[in-house]
A and B are shown apart, each in its own frame.
Chain A
Amino acid sequence: MSPIVKRKGRKFSVPDKYVLFALTICCSAMMLLTFGTSIFDKPFNNIVGYVMVPFERGIGEAGAWIAGRSEELVQIRSLLEENEALKEQVALLTEENTLLQQDKYELNKLRQLFELDEQYESYNKVGARIILRDSGNWYSSFIIDKGSDDGLREDMNVIAEGGLVGRLSNVGPNWSKVTAIISDNANVSGMTLATEDNLIVSGNLQSMSEGVILFSQLVDSKEAVQVGDKIVTSNISDKFLPGILIGYIMTIEPDNNNLTKSGTLIPAVDFEHLSEVLVITDQKQTVEEE
């Protein structure tokens, strides 16, 4: 073949350096844009949602199944022993239960009398399944299989096992990202249930390895807050609905400034073994600033 024909066959190619340079600028631009705004969220979320989520759903289920089976095998032996003990306990509890049911009947009647409605139950909730977890080792966030098509919006609260899990930080058409309250970049405004003192609950990777999260800025001048007190989301939080259980105080110490206190709390939710969560579709009422 003549060299001219050969040259025709060779593709024109840009040097790698220029590709790198162009993509670097592209990345920096995207970083700057997404830092303040969320223009890219919608198109990216849509594309990714339709391409990835069906696969994720399948694999997530298969993975969960396999993990469940292997765990079962390990646990069978201990389960047998536990079964014996539990049977005895059942007998005891049945007796106790009948007594309690009588109490409950009375309580319900009294509640109706006071027209008290349990706030938790009045929220509208949607169940969702966790389909994938953050693959990095730094933050705790995960993706659930419901999105804006199911009526979910950003900042909706997520609960499980009666406690607060986190909030939706990113919503796609058929998936949403949940940032857990134990994530290192998460802060929740909370209060103690008994005394209604406000405090800040901050997720922390370092303390989460010990199974606790931190709280701070608790003003407790009357020394009324004690270890074991319930901490719930506060009335003044702008993202979280009031009165959702966060956890229980484990330690409490005065700060160096002698005005506030801080310490650790045990979250109400077992974050390691979550597979289904509830999303509260009611959102906190916000006031438009003028």
Chain B
Amino acid sequence: MLRIILTGLVIFISFLLQTSVFSWLPTDVCPNLFIILTASCGFMAEERTGLLVGFTCGLLYDVFFGDIIGFHALLYMYIGFINGKFARVFYPEDIKLPLALITVSDLTYSLICYITQFLVRGRLDFTFYFLKVIFPEVICTLVATLVFYPIILRWNEWLRDRERRSEQKFV
């Protein structure tokens, strides 16, 4: 229960950060905090958490900014689910795997966004969109991961410890 409430709160905070604080960044593009959160929740907990967090993040984005509701929810959900598959090979001490997973996730997300929303409308200049939007976004997200990943990791471990302790109390 505590986990659900806290996760909701974290999604809420990251949405606030993403939409109001990041838009004041001096760079043209902003990092994708939702991808970081969804992917991290995926490989830190398991598929279930990943897909639910992704679904919530995506839905929140859709309601505010999406043209059709459900598109980003679907996309983020699958990203969370697939990242959840890596929970078995995830070790908290190793930052290489999370970095790689988040980068690949963001890259996939951006590519799908480009294909479904731009390519089908005849915007064919892929190199431009890649260099102007996708690549900077991935780099930005990568940098943001270095900042936010330790926070999410610590939060997750704290939550797990707490759950374990309360379980022991009952047994």
Given known pairs A143-B64, A205-B133, the reply for A138 and B118 (CB within 8 Å) is yes
B4 at the interface (CB under 8 A from A): no
Do A23 and B68 touch (CB < 8 A)? Answer: no
15 CB-based A-B contacts, threshold 8 Å: A16-B48, A20-B77, A26-B70, A27-B55, A27-B71, A28-B70, A28-B74, A131-B20, A132-B64, A133-B19, A135-B22, A137-B30, A138-B117, A138-B133, A205-B118
Binds B, one of A56-64, A105-113, A244-252, A253-261: A56-64
CA distance A221 to B21 in the complex (A): 49
Contact status of A23 and B55, CB under 8 A, knowing A177-B65, A206-B128: yes
> For B28, what are the chain A residues with a Cβ–Cβ distance below 8 Å?
137, 209
Q: Does B81 contact A (CB under 8 A)?
A: yes
* CA A34 to CA B33, docked complex, whole Å: 26
| Contact residues in B for A23 (Cβ distance below 8 Å) | 51, 55, 73, 77
- Given A135-B30, A177-B65, check contact A16 B51 (CB 8 Å): yes
Q: How far is the CA of A219 from the CA of B20 in the complex (A)?
A: 42
Asked whether any CB of chain A lies closer than 8 Å to the CB of B18, the reply is: yes
Nearest 7 CB-CB pairings of A with B: A30-B70, A133-B23, A31-B70, A27-B74, A132-B19, A27-B70, A67-B24
- A135–B65 CB distance below 8 A: yes
Q: Considering the chains assembled together, what is the distance between the CA atoms of A26 and B62 in angstroms? A: 14
Distance between B137 CB and nearest chain A CB, rounded to angstroms = 5
- Tell whether A195 is near chain B: CB-to-CB under 8 Å: no
The interface residues of chain B lying within 8 Å CB-to-CB of A143 are 19, 64
Q: Which residue of B lies closest to A65 (CB)?
A: B24
On whether A16 and B47 interact (CB within 8 A), knowing A34-B69, A40-B69, A63-B20, the answer reads yes
- CA distance in complex: A184, B15 (Å): 23
Interface contacts beyond A19-B48, A34-B70, A44-B63: sample of 14 additional A-B pairs, CB < 8 Å, sorted by A: A16-B47, A16-B81, A20-B47, A29-B70, A30-B68, A31-B71, A45-B63, A48-B60, A48-B64, A63-B21, A63-B24, A141-B65, A206-B128, A209-B28
Residue of B70, B74, B84, B171 with highest tally of chain A CB at under 10 A:
B70
Chain A: minimal CB distance from B111 (Å): 12
Residue of B nearest to A139 (CB): B65
B contact residues, range: 35 or more
Q: Is A85 an interface residue (CB 8 A)?
A: no
Specify which of B68, B69, B114, B137 lies most central, judged by the most chain A CB atoms within 10 Å of its CB: B69
List, in ascending order, chain A residues with CB within 8 A of B69's CB: 30-31, 34, 40, 44
Q: Does A103 contact B (CB under 8 A)?
A: no
- Which residues on A sit within 8 Å (CB–CB) of B22? 135
Residues of chain B whose beta carbon lies under 8 Å from any beta carbon of chain A: 12, 15-16, 18-24, 28-30, 32-34, 46-48, 51-52, 55, 60-61, 63-65, 67-71, 73-74, 77-78, 81, 84, 113-114, 117-118, 121, 123, 125, 128-129, 132-133, 136-137, 170-171
Contact check, B15 vs A136: say whether CB atoms are below 8 A apart.
no
Instruction: Determine the chain B residues whose CB is within 8 A of the CB of A44 once the complex forms.
Output: 63, 69
Counting CB contacts under 8 A, is A55 at the interface?
yes
Q: How far is the CB of B140 from chain A (nearest CB, A)?
A: 9
* A6: nearest chain-B partner, CB-CB: B171
Q: Are B133 and A137 in contact (CB under 8 A)?
A: yes
Cβ–Cβ < 8 Å partners of B132 in chain A: 205-206, 209
Question: Taking the complex as formed, is A35 at the interface, i.e. its CB lies under 8 A from any CB of chain B?
Answer: yes
A135 interface neighbour in B18, B46, B81, Cβ under 8 Å: B18
Chain B residues lying within 8 Å of A67, measured Cβ to Cβ, are 24
Assess whether A24 is interfacial by the CB under 8 Å rule.
yes
Contact status A59-B51, CB under 8 Å: no
Shortest Cβ distance from A189 into chain B, in angstroms?
A: 19
Residues of B within 8 A of A133 (CB): 19-20, 23
State A194–B11 Cα separation when bound (angstroms).
52
Q: Which residues of A contact B65 (CB under 8 A)?
A: 134-136, 139, 141, 177
A106–B55 Cα distance when bound, in Å, is 64
Any B CB within 8 A of the CB of A86: no
On whether A59 and B20 interact (CB within 8 A), knowing A19-B48, A45-B63, A143-B64, the answer reads yes
- Report if A91 contacts B (CB, 8 A): no
